[in-house]
Homo-oligomer: A and B are copies of this chain.
Amino acid sequence: VIGGSDAPNVVALAGGVGGAKLAEGLQAVVGDRLTVIVNTADDTERHGLLVCADHDTVMYTLAGLENPELGWGLADDSWTVMAALERYGEEGWFRLGDQDLATHIVRTDRLRRGERLTAVCRHLQARLGVAATILPMADEPVRTQVRTDDGWLNFQDYFVRLRQAPEVHEVRFVGVEAAQPTAETLAAVAAADVIVVAPSNPIVSVGPILAVPGMTEALAHARAGGVPIAAVSGIVGGKALKGPADRMLASLGHEATALGVARLYRDLADVFVLDAVDAALAPAVEALGIRAVVTDTIMTDDASRARLARAVLAATAPA
């Protein structure tokens, strides 16, 4: 399957880095047949500008512009504005590169002029030449907060400022009740041949997407119509590939293993893709009523991203 009119319509649900890597692999395989529905609950206002953290990581990655060292922002970006902002007394812990800032400036301007977030993001993607379609999970603002020993924190305070050090006792998605799937996300799900849940944090990356009222129903409707849903484990050998998912799963009472992730997706997915190092967990996954597919899930380069994408799509193909 290499793009073109024969390629399946693929919808991926994704957060940041891990989701972006698999999305890049999927884009390499199905081209513009890929739609990525991204988490927006990590979005944050910095210096009056709206930063869409997961959207931008996915967008930059699909445009080939991402910064692989940092895991966010653009490659070879500079920090001149940030230094000038700090000279004015602005907080500097959320680093925004110069080129990256242009994204947030344009987005904020267009939103203030009344454009929907979806339209703004599509404009940005088009200008960067992204083949796939990246859709915010909702146009309405939703914001993740985590409860720690020091009370409720905004997600980026926990994630960036405190470097995920505090233990998370509870998670909430402020505003999610008032959010709704967009016409674009519903149309993408309705047109999907395959739906993929990326190896993103199941609690704070995929969780908010599924919490948008009507989204799980739309996914269930597609599945009832024969569209396979495959979820990829972001926990390998009991460790998160990136970020605090393992500790977060444990502190919230889940098992910090691929099996623990599979349990969270048991009502959602037909297929669960887990890494070869976790092959021993496959029978327990299958006991949940999900087909387990064991493969190498570590994405170190373009080739391994496309390889995993092909493996996931193959796993959902009719036997």
**B-binding residues in A (CB < 8 A):** 47-49, 77-78, 80-81, 83-85, 87-90, 98-99, 101-103, 105-106, 108-109, 112-113, 123-124, 127-128
Contact = CB atoms under 8 A, between A and B. Distances in A.
B87 A128 contact: yes
A92 to B, nearest CB: 11
Contacts of A123: 88-89
B106 A81 contact: no
B98 A80 contact: yes
A77 to B, nearest CB: 8
A83 to B, nearest CB: 8
A102 B127 contact: no
Contacts of A101: 81, 84, 101, 105
The 3 nearest A-B residue pairs measured at CB: A48-B109, A84-B102, A80-B98
Contacts of A124: 88
Contacts of A102: 81, 84-85, 87-88, 90
A127 B85 CA distance: 10
A5 to B, nearest CB: 29
A106 B85 contact: yes
Contact of A127 (B48, B83, B88, B127): B88
Nearest to A80: B98
Contacts of A85: 102, 105-106
A124 B90 CA distance: 11
Nearest to A101: B81
Contacts of A108: 48
A48 B104 CA distance: 11
Contact of A105 (B49, B78, B83, B87): B49
Contacts of A48: 105, 108-109, 112-113
Contact of A81 (B88, B89, B105, B113): B105
Given A48-B112, A77-B80, A88-B124, 15 more contacts: A47-B105, A48-B108, A49-B109, A80-B98, A80-B99, A81-B81, A83-B99, A84-B99, A84-B102, A85-B102, A85-B106, A87-B102, A87-B127, A88-B127, A101-B105
A90 B78 contact: no
Contacts of A77: 80
A98 B84 contact: yes
Contacts of A84: 98-99, 101-103
Contacts of A98: 78, 80-81, 84, 98
A12 B316 CA distance: 75
29 contacts: A47-B105, A47-B106, A47-B109, A48-B105, A48-B108, A48-B109, A48-B113, A49-B109, A78-B78, A78-B80, A80-B99, A81-B99, A81-B102, A83-B99, A84-B102, A84-B103, A85-B102, A85-B105, A85-B106, A87-B102, A87-B127, A88-B102, A88-B123, A89-B123, A89-B127, A90-B102, A90-B106, A101-B101, A101-B105
